[in-house]
Amino acid sequence: MNNNIIVSSRVRLARNLKNQPFTNNTDFDKANNVLTSAFNALSEISNFNLYKCKNLKSEMLEEMLEDHLISGELINNSDISGVAISPDNTVSIMVNEEDHFREQCMLDGLNLKRAYDIISDIDNELSLSLDFAYDEKLGFLTACPTNVGTGLRASVMMFLPGIVLTNNLEDMISTVSKLGICVRGAYGEGSSASGYMFQISNQFSLGKSEEEIVQLVESTALKICDLEIKARKLLLDNNKDALKDEVLRAYGILSNCYKISTSEATELLSKVKLGADIDLINLKEPQLIDDLIKNISPIKINKLSNKVLNENERDLFRAEYIGRVLKNNRI
Amino acid sequence: MNNNIIVSSRVRLARNLKNQPFTNNTDFDKANNVLTSAFNALSEISNFNLYKCKNLKSEMLEEMLEDHLISGELINNSDISGVAISPDNTVSIMVNEEDHFREQCMLDGLNLKRAYDIISDIDNELSLSLDFAYDEKLGFLTACPTNVGTGLRASVMMFLPGIVLTNNLEDMISTVSKLGICVRGAYGEGSSASGYMFQISNQFSLGKSEEEIVQLVESTALKICDLEIKARKLLLDNNKDALKDEVLRAYGILSNCYKISTSEATELLSKVKLGADIDLINLKEPQLIDDLIKNISPIKINKLSNKVLNENERDLFRAEYIGRVLKNNRI
Q: Contact at 8 Å (CB) between A318 and A298?
A: no
B220 CA to centre of own chain:
18
Contact yes or no for A244 and B255 at CB 8 A: no
Answer yes or no: is pLDDT of A191 > 80: no
Residue B152 near residue B141 (C-beta atoms within 8 A): no
Predicted confidence at residue A2, as pLDDT, reads 54
Beta bridge partners of A198: A158, A185
Which residue from B minimizes the CA distance to A240? B258
pLDDT attached to residue B194: 74
Percent over 70 (pLDDT), chain B: 97
Residue type, A250: A
In this structure, the dihedral spanned by the alpha carbons of residues A301, A304, A305 and A310, taken in order and rounded to 10 degrees, is: 20
Short-list B56, B39, B154, CA closest to B94: B39
pLDDT of residue A272: 96
Residue of chain B minimizing CA distance to A244: B258
Could you give the CA distance from residue B27 to residue B150 in angstroms, rounded to a whole number?
A: 27
Task: For residue B14, report the phi and psi dihedrals to the nearest 5 degrees.
Answer: -100, 130
**ipTM of this complex:** 0.82
User: What pLDDT, in 10s, does the model give residues A220-274?
Assistant: 999 999 999 999 999 999 999 999 999 999 999 999 999 999 999 999 999 999 9
Q: Give the residue, B328 or A325, on which the prediction is more confident.
A: A325
Contact A130, A17 (CB under 8 A): yes
User: Touching check for B245 and chain A: CB below 8 Å?
Assistant: yes
Task: Identify all chain B residues contacting A247, using CB atoms and an 8 Å cutoff.
Answer: 258
Which residue from B247, B252, B319 is facing A253, i.e. has the nearest CB?
Answer: B252
* Cα A286 to Cα A281: distance, rounded to the nearest angstrom: 10
A49-75: b (≥16 Cβ within 10 Å) or e: ebbbbeebeeeebbbbbbbbbbbbbbb
Chain B residues with CB under 8 Å of A311 CB are none
Paired with A12 in beta bridges are: A104, A153
The kind and range of the H/E element at B169 are helix B169-177
Residue from A56, A23, A26, A52 nearest A39 by CA: A52
Pairwise CB contact (< 8 Å): B259 & A253 = no
Instruction: Specify which residues A92 forms β-bridges with.
Output: A85, A104
3-state secondary structure of A236: helix
Among chain A residues, the shortest Cα distance to B331 is held by: A256
Burial B215-234 (b: 16+ CB within 10 A, else e): ebbbebbebbbebbeebbee
Measure the CA angle with vertex A91, ends A146 and A104; round to 5°.
5
Cβ-nearest to A252 among B241, B255, B259? B255
Q: How high does pLDDT run on average in chain A? A: 93
Q: Which of A258, A278, A316 has the most B C-beta neighbours within 10 Å, making it the best mutation to test the interface with B?
A: A258
Measure in Å the smallest separation between the Cα of A292 and chain B Cα atoms.
Answer: 18
Contact B241 A316 (CB under 8 A): yes
Report the C-alpha gap between B85 and B65 in whole angstroms.
13
Q: Which chain B positions have a beta carbon within 8 Å of A319's beta carbon?
A: 245
CB pairs under 8 A between A and B: 58
CA-closest candidate to residue B148, choices B156, B161, B139: B139
**3-state SS assignment for residue B140:** strand
Q: Does A244 touch chain B (CB under 8 A)?
A: yes
Closest to A328 in 3D by CA, of A289, A295, A291, A285: A285
Average pLDDT over residues A167-183: 94
User: How many Cβ atoms are within 10 Å of A188's Cβ, its own excluded?
Assistant: 14
Please give the C-alpha separations between residue B164 and each of A60, B170, B172, B179, in angstroms, as whole numbers.
47, 9, 10, 20
How close is the nearest chain A Cα to the Cα of B284, in Å?
16
Cβ distance A258 to B252 less than 8 Å, yes or no, reads no
DSSP single-letter state for residue B295? T
User: Residues B248, B275: contact at Cβ < 8 Å?
Assistant: yes
Q: Convert the pLDDT of each residue in B9-66 to its tens digit.
A: 999 999 999 988 898 888 889 999 999 999 999 999 888 999 999 999 998 999 999 8
The answer to whether residue B256 neighbours chain A at the CB level (below 8 Å) is yes
Residue A330, sorted as left (phi over 0), alpha (psi -120 to 50) or beta, turns out to be: beta
B-interface mutation test, from A243, A251, A253, most B Cβ less than 10 A away: A253
A256 at interface of B, judged by CB pairs closer than 8 A: yes
User: Cβ separation of A257 and B251 shorter than 8 Å?
Assistant: no
Provide the mean pLDDT of chain B: 93
Cβ-based contacts of A241 with chain B (< 8 Å): 258-259, 312, 316
